Structure 1
Amino acid sequence: MPKYLKCEKEVYFAEGVTCLGKDWHRPCLKCEKCGKTLTSGGHAEHEGKPYRNHPCYAAMFGPNGFGRG
């Protein structure tokens, strides 16, 4: 069984999710900034790490002022 990215623990295939080309436990797939659990299609990637599209990714990596209002 593969070891999953965040927690390094083994799980069964049905318990995992693939995102950003890596395997994760569902509860381990969290935004690097705020820690909220991410859903399919509700996140962005920066340097291989997942972030919520809005507001986290937009505030950190978007144009100045975007996502800060």
Structure 2
Amino acid sequence: MGKCHSEQFNSEKVTSLGKDWHKFCLKCERCNKTLTPGGHAEHDGKPFCHKPCYATLFGPKGMSAS
């Protein structure tokens, strides 16, 4: 299961990275931005927004992350 545990979980869950999440608990590990299933990057099983976080942390080195 994702980061949080709640009794209302079943009515508000989304699935991403092989886990179930509250739709508002699927957030970027770096900036805390709310993400959508399939609309984010993944590293070591954790969700990241594509820009700027994933690009900055794991993208090609030496390129501008603008």
Q: Would the alpha carbon gap of residues 22 and 67 (structure 1) be closer, same or farther in structure 2, given more than 3 Å must change?
A: farther
CA contact (8 A) 1:43 1:53 kept: yes
Structure number with the bigger relative contact order (C-alpha 8 A, sep ≥ 6) is 2
Q: CA RMSD in A?
A: 1.7
Give unpaired runs (5+ residues) of structure 1. Answer: none
TM-superposed deviation, 1:39: 1.8
What is the TM-score of this pair, normalised by structure 2? 0.83
**Among 34, 43, 59, the residue aligned to 1:37:** 34
Aligned partner of 2:6 among 6, 9, 12: 9
Percent of pairs with identical residues: 59
Secondary structure of the 1:45 match is strand
For residues 58 and 40 of structure 2, what CA distance do their matches in structure 1 show? 13
What stretches of structure 2 of length at least 5 have no aligned partner?
Answer: none
Q: Distance in 2 between matches of 1:19 and 1:10?
A: 20
Q: Relative to 1, partners in 2 of residues 1:66 and 1:11: Cα closer, same or farther, differing over 3 Å? A: farther
